[in-house]
Amino acid sequence: MKKKKVLVAMSGGVDSSVAAALLKNDGYDVIGATMQVWPREAPDSERSCCSLSAVEDARKVTRKLNIPHYVLNFRNIFEEKVIGDFVSEYHSGRTPNPCIRCNEHIKFDALIKKADGLGIEMIATGHYARIEQRGSKFSLLKGIDPQKDQSYMLYVMNQASLGRTLFPNGDKTKKEIRKIARSFDLPVAEKAESQEICFVPEDNYGSFIEEFTNNETKPGPILDSRGNVLGTHKGIIHYTIGQRKGLGIPRPEPLYVIKIDPERNAIIVGGKNETLGTALEANGVHFISGKVPDGELEVTAKIRYNSKESKATVCPFNDSWARVRFSKPQNAITPGQSVVFYNGETVIGGGIINSKL
């Protein structure tokens, strides 16, 4: 019996290339798709998944695999949903995660709609995560490689998108993926990983935002928690909660950014202990099951991609707001970042941090 057609999001990197190779090897009718999302000149970096060279790398892989390859124009929606939000959040004193926005609005919304238009039933990506089906319900699980697990970035998925998606790499380690790439003789087998935000050259967020908004930033005061002026900052877009470097304030004890106040155009700094918090409020809260818990929910949670999970209690207010209380103090709870909830290997859901409580 012939397997389903699958549209594979191919960034030109080794992970998505191996995903396509594995699916073809498993009998799927594979079509490669590279999403053209940059609204202006593409970043010219081999470490960016959105560079022009990335398109050519993806094309080389599809030729090697002898599968069709499309370049899909998602420029407008990417600028609106991802870049626009990124810039707006930084101007609001928050620190967004554009990769999560991209997953929500581009990979698991716009790409699925494009698949529908092409008459393709499934999509696939190179993410290190797993999907489990029990009856009619789908669960999102961590990838088995703890160093590469990307489930944090995928908490925005729902039952519909999980039912349409394949993650061929989720049950493999990065080392195994490299080995598979070599076994298929893929031209990207030794390619370095993409580590930049795809639309921000050299990871220079401040310069990108200034250019995007025609330098709509201005200096302001750096204050301590009692309101004393300690110095001058170069624009709130250049700072994030927990930041220590670049403050330019000589003190015997290190100072850290503990709050960003866009209304006063001020950065508030304090000691290490002032960066800690045991509770937060989140909005845009989403539960993968599609059902909001009736009461409090005991979970483990993490407040950024690279942080460790910690025991926590989630108290939903309604279908989009929740309070999260941690059993241990968390460092640098940052508005704009996501808090993600787990039950063991299973992702329960998550939301966007609105404030530290």
Looking at the annotation, which residues are catalytic?
A: 102, 198
Distances (CA, A) of 304 to 108, 118, 301: 21, 36, 9
Total Cβ atoms within 10 A of residue 327 = 12
Q: Which long-range contacts (CB under 8 A, 24 or more apart) does 315-318 make?
A: 316/285, 316/292, 318/292
Tell me the β-bridge partners of 351: 339
Burial of 209 (0-12, 13-18, 19+ CB in 10 A): buried
Quickly count helices (H) and strands (E) in the chain: 9, 17
| C-alpha dist (Å) from residue 62 to 71, 74, 156, 172 | 12, 20, 29, 22
Determine the Cα–Cα distance for residues 30 and 69; give it in Å rounded to an integer.
Answer: 9
- Number of residues written out for the chain: 357
- Supply 159's token pair: 């039952």
Contacts of 295 (CB under 8 A, 6+ apart): none
CB 109 within 8 A of CB 80: no
Beta-strand runs (E) in the chain = 5-9, 29-36, 69-73, 122-124, 129-134, 137-142, 165-166, 220-224, 229-233, 256-261, 266-270, 276-287, 297-302, 310-316, 322-331, 338-343, 346-356
For residue 19, what is the enclosing H or E element? helix 14-25
How many whole angstroms separate alpha carbon 153 and alpha carbon 101? 9
Asked whether the beta carbons of 47 and 192 are under 8 A apart, the reply is yes
**Could you tell me which residues are beta bridge partners of residue 310?**
301
